[in-house]
Chain A
Amino acid sequence: MNIRDMIKPNIMATPPSGIRKYFDMINEMKDAISLGIGEPDFETPWTIREEGIYSLEKGKTFYSSNAGFIELRQEIARYMARKYNLDYNPATEILVTVGGSEAIDVALRTFAGPGDEVIIPEPSFVAYRGCTMFCGATPVPLELKAEYDFRLQPEQLLACITDKTKVIILAYPNNPTGAIMEYEDYAKIVEVLRDKDIIVISDELYAELNYKGKHVSIAQFPGMKEKTIVINGFSKAFAMTGWRIGFACAHPDAMEQMKKIHQYAIMCSPTTAQFAAIEALRNGEPEVRRMVEEYNRRRRVMVDGFNRIGLRCFEPYGAFYCFPDIRSTGLTSDEFCERLLMEEKVLTVPGNAFGASGEGFVRATYATSLENIREALVRIARFVERVRS
């Protein structure tokens, strides 16, 4: 038996993340600067870590209820109400998951299957496509345009909708572009979706990292909450990536089914992380503000730097990524990133790793120290000048 022949075709057909190859390259380098890391460079705030430690010291190492400790779900309900004006019942509408990633997987598995189409606006986080394919559903890429600062346009959405469309994934603030959607942007999308039987999976992991105004969730619009699965979490907002903890909010009828998948596949989210998350929601706000302020300063330095170098960079108002246009160098995204890494030891991620429409762009994160950002910009400037001459 050849074990490969036994593997399901839709798993075999799913490509691995396009970013991995750079990992091997950078690992052998000295003095390399990575602008490729998609996680905060802050440590989890101490009071949050401390609650995790206390829970371990007290031996609280048991399972929680499948959906997560009710205290945590209550805090999440308060948080969603306080921050986004969304009311969810902690008993029936909230599920604590293993990071936002599990929530994405559970939501897709609940709604998408063979014959269904899932609209994925790209460039996007790479897991949406993979998880869609694991469900046997068909990913339908929607090409977001740089000319609209990568915000979703209603005409584009209309053009992608067929009678097979089951789900659309919205992810703002966006990884990799740093784009956000404001109230008026969503209003036009809501017009399109309101009377259609399409589920919205709204991945709002970066909601706290909005540098323009208050984050808007599509679930806030009349008639949308019922068909929207809101996904949020602690990784980006509270610098808690390694704890693996996030959550999903949905209509109780949907949640009842989503809980089954979580229950059978996962059991419950890590208990230690849940205790820490309770503290994050109760007392973490000032630390979040401090981190957001710091990101915002670095963001301005990086955007300014790219524009000075002549790599046009639209103003990214969310997350912690810049997405400069590198077409003026005459290089493809892959060539740019590979040569920049080999010649100047700066790692960026090619835009096309996030979907075909990312070609001509690269993703650079400012979730790294100002010193690193400054030095990286010097090296990139040197590189671009060399390429152009």
Chain B
Amino acid sequence: MQQEILDILQKNSRISDEELAVMLGTDVATVKAAIKDMEEKGIITGYKTLIDWEKAQEEIVVAYIEVRVTPQRGQGFDKVAERIYQYPQVTACCLMSGGFDLFVVVEGKTMKEVALFVAEKLATIDSVLSTSTHFVLKKYKENGVIFNRPRKDEREAVVL
């Protein structure tokens, strides 16, 4: 049940509890209780809307940044990650395996704004050794959703 609710909500968080209940063949009270429980446990951490900002004609610049850092004694990478993810410009921050340590996603209004943020804030943090900034040129797919792909039902309206 929990798994099924999450599966549906992940695709469409606007669905009503009533409709969820019908879809899962159960009653509204059960659905409400299950969702509340998952919210309290922090399994569900929030509800967001997927937006193609380009279409909304809002200019948004996204950069994926590889950050190499010196881990700190006793705290590893957590402390420096915490320093970094506090900035509102940072929309994602993960510890990575491989050639660099932290993967940081930064959003801004212009390329200059993002570049300045990296140069002035990110790169100047003590334990940061280097940064490598990659600007996103075009998004094809994000969060399982394909952008700019008109879905037209081309099936014959009646077959046999």
Chain B, range 86-142, C-beta contacts under 8 Å to A: none
- Assess whether A20 is in contact with B158, with CB atoms less than 8 Å apart: yes
Q: Quick one: which of B22, B24, B155 contacts A37, CB cutoff 8 A?
A: B155
Cβ contacts under 8 Å, A37 to chain B: 155-159
Known contacts A300-B24, A304-B22; decide if A32 and B157 are in contact (CB<8 Å): yes
Cβ contacts under 8 Å, B19 to chain A: 301
- Assess whether A34 is in contact with B157, with CB atoms less than 8 Å apart: yes
- Assess whether A127 is in contact with B160, with CB atoms less than 8 Å apart: yes
- Assess whether A23 is in contact with B23, with CB atoms less than 8 Å apart: no
Q: Report how many residues on chain A are interfacial, defined by Cβ distance under 8 Å.
A: 26
Question: A22 to B22, alpha carbons, bound, how many Å?
Answer: 31
- Assess whether B157 is in contact with A26, with CB atoms less than 8 Å apart: yes
Cβ contacts under 8 Å, A38 to chain B: 159-160
Cβ contacts under 8 Å, A36 to chain B: 157-158
By size class, the interface of chain B is 10 to 19
Chain A, range 1-48, C-beta contacts under 8 Å to B: 17, 19-20, 22-23, 26-27, 32, 34, 36-39, 41
- Assess whether B158 is in contact with A297, with CB atoms less than 8 Å apart: no
Question: A26 to B156, alpha carbons, bound, how many Å?
Answer: 10
Cβ contacts under 8 Å, B23 to chain A: 297-298, 300-301
Question: A22 to B155, alpha carbons, bound, how many Å?
Answer: 15
Residues 1-23 of B, flagged 1 when their CB comes within 8 A of A and 0 if not, give 00010011000000000010011
Question: A17 to B158, alpha carbons, bound, how many Å?
Answer: 11
A181 in contact (CB, < 8 A): no
Residues 24-46 of B, flagged 1 when their CB comes within 8 A of A and 0 if not, give 11000000000000000000000
B interface residues, Cβ below 8 angstroms from A = 4, 7-8, 19, 22-25, 153, 155-160
A interface residues, Cβ below 8 angstroms from B = 17, 19-20, 22-23, 26-27, 32, 34, 36-39, 41, 125-127, 293, 297-298, 300-301, 304, 347, 349, 368
Q: Could you pull out 16 A-B pairs where Cβ atoms are within 8 angstroms?
A: A19-B158, A19-B160, A20-B158, A27-B157, A32-B157, A34-B158, A36-B158, A39-B155, A41-B155, A126-B160, A293-B7, A297-B8, A298-B23, A300-B24, A347-B158, A349-B158
